[in-house]
Structures are given as C-alpha cells and as structure tokens.
A and B are shown apart, each in its own frame.
Chain A
Amino acid sequence: GDSVTQMEGPVTLSEEAFLTINCTYTATGYPSLFWYVQYPGEGLQLLLKATKADDKGSNKGFEATYRKETTSFHLEKGSVQVSDSAVYFCALTLPQGAQKLVFGQGTRLTINP
C-alpha cells in the first residue's frame, strides 16, 4: 500500500542553522506530495505542496522538490528561527476519488536561540 517515511526525530538545531527533514514515499500511482506543520496545541496547517515530478513547493522560506527518481520530498530551510519549532508531517494523496492523505509519523523540530 501507499506509505510515507520520515526521518526520525526529535531534531534540535540552533537558530540560523540549515534544516533538512528527509521524506520518502511509496505509491502505486502518481501522488501529490505535501508538508504540513503543527504548532503546539494547534491543528495541522499546509506548509507547501507539489503535484508532479520536479515541482518545487515553497512557503515561509521552506522548500521541497518532488523527486520521482528517488521517490523523495525532502524539506529544507536555509536559516531556521525559534518560531519554526513545531512538528512537521510529510504526506501524500493520490489524485482521484476522495484524495485521502497518507501521513508520515512526524518529525519534532526544536530550534534553540
């Protein structure tokens, strides 16, 4: 079945460090890929998405590129801030029917000043 695997957390970085959170997927079709972010005590918010191979999604300084050849969608940010501390979820959906999301297990990110 379809699945998403994220790098194990938690991840702790200093402010202004470079961030990479790895995400790989397995899917039977051609999925759309997403990164969601969850701040403490809140629901999930869509951070960015990509719908086809080689697309780059970007938002708030975060980027991720849809790599079909390596089935990956790694999240990157060049200089993290304390306010980026949150849990990040990689997810996929297949573009038909109810478009159910399949999530990775989440990666908790803490940024220290």
Chain B
Amino acid sequence: DAGITQSPRHKVTETGTPVTLRCHQTENHRYMYWYRQDPGHGLRLIHYSYGVKDTDKGEVSDGYSVSRSKTEDFLLTLESATSSQTSVYFCAISESSEQYFGPGTRLTVT
C-alpha cells in the first residue's frame, strides 16, 4: 500500500470555525490531491498540488484553501466551516496516471 496517512480521521466542528486537515505521504510523489465524497456525486476534486508551493483549484474549491510547504505534506483548510462542507475528505498522491488514496477524514460541521 502507498504510504499515505490523513489526520484527523474524524472531526466534529461548529459552523464558522476554522479546520485544517493534513495529508502526509512517504512516497515522495510529485502530485497530491484533495477530494470530497458525497452521496450521488462520487468524488470531486477540491485542490491539487504539482510541487512544493505549487497548487491549483479543482472543481469545488470555493471555501477551501491549501498549502504545500514540503513534498510530503498537503494541508486543506476550511477558513470558516459551513454545514455544506460536511463530507468525507480523501487525499491522493500520484507520480503517473495512477492515483493512490488515503483512508479519508470524516468531517461533520454542526
């Protein structure tokens, strides 16, 4: 299995609070991605990174920001969480066309 961890694995937070999710890899892959999974929508890309400090928006980036200061870490931040951001968040890494996924973080915004 690809060395990808996500933290926390579960989080409950209140509307309006900031939240940061962490993705850590041990594979030294160039590309890292954040997706959200919601019923009926499959997975949708939030942001991705193609190198240290190189990031770009995905399909559903509003309300999210990311940072990548080291190859191994990719952070996803919800500046002010809303109930519509309740979801399961997956990180993925790749060096070619195949992506490898982390175990996910279940976020509930009350």
Distance in Å from the Cβ of B50 to the closest Cβ of chain A?
Answer: 5
The answer to whether A100 touches B58 (Cβ under 8 A) is yes
B81-110: CB near A (< 8 Å → 1, else 0) gives 000000000101010111111111000000
| Interface size class, chain B | 20 to 34
The answer to whether A43 and B90 touch (CB under 8 A), given A32-B97, A95-B97, is yes
Q: Within the assembled complex, what's the spacing in Å between the Cα atoms of A98 and B33?
A: 9
What total of chain A residues lie within 8 Å of the partner, measured CB to CB? 23
- Of B12-20, B40-48, B60-68, B72-80, which binds chain A? B40-48
The answer to whether A44 and B101 touch (CB under 8 A), given A98-B31, A100-B58, is yes
Tell me if B27 is interfacial: C-beta within 8 Å of chain A: no
Please give, as numbers and ranges, the residues of chain A lying within 8 Å of B102 by CB-CB distance: 43
Please give, as numbers and ranges, the residues of chain B lying within 8 Å of A43 by CB-CB distance: 90, 101-104
The answer to whether A98 touches B48 (Cβ under 8 A) is yes
Q: Within the assembled complex, what's the spacing in Å between the Cα atoms of A104 and B40?
A: 9
The answer to whether B98 touches A49 (Cβ under 8 A) is yes
- A19-76 interface with B by 8 A CB criterion: 32, 34, 36, 42-46, 49, 51
Q: Which of A42, A51, A95 contacts B103 (CB 8 A)?
A: A42
Q: Which of A36, A42, A93, A105 contacts B97 (CB 8 A)?
A: A93
The answer to whether A105 and B42 touch (CB under 8 A), given A98-B56, A99-B31, is yes
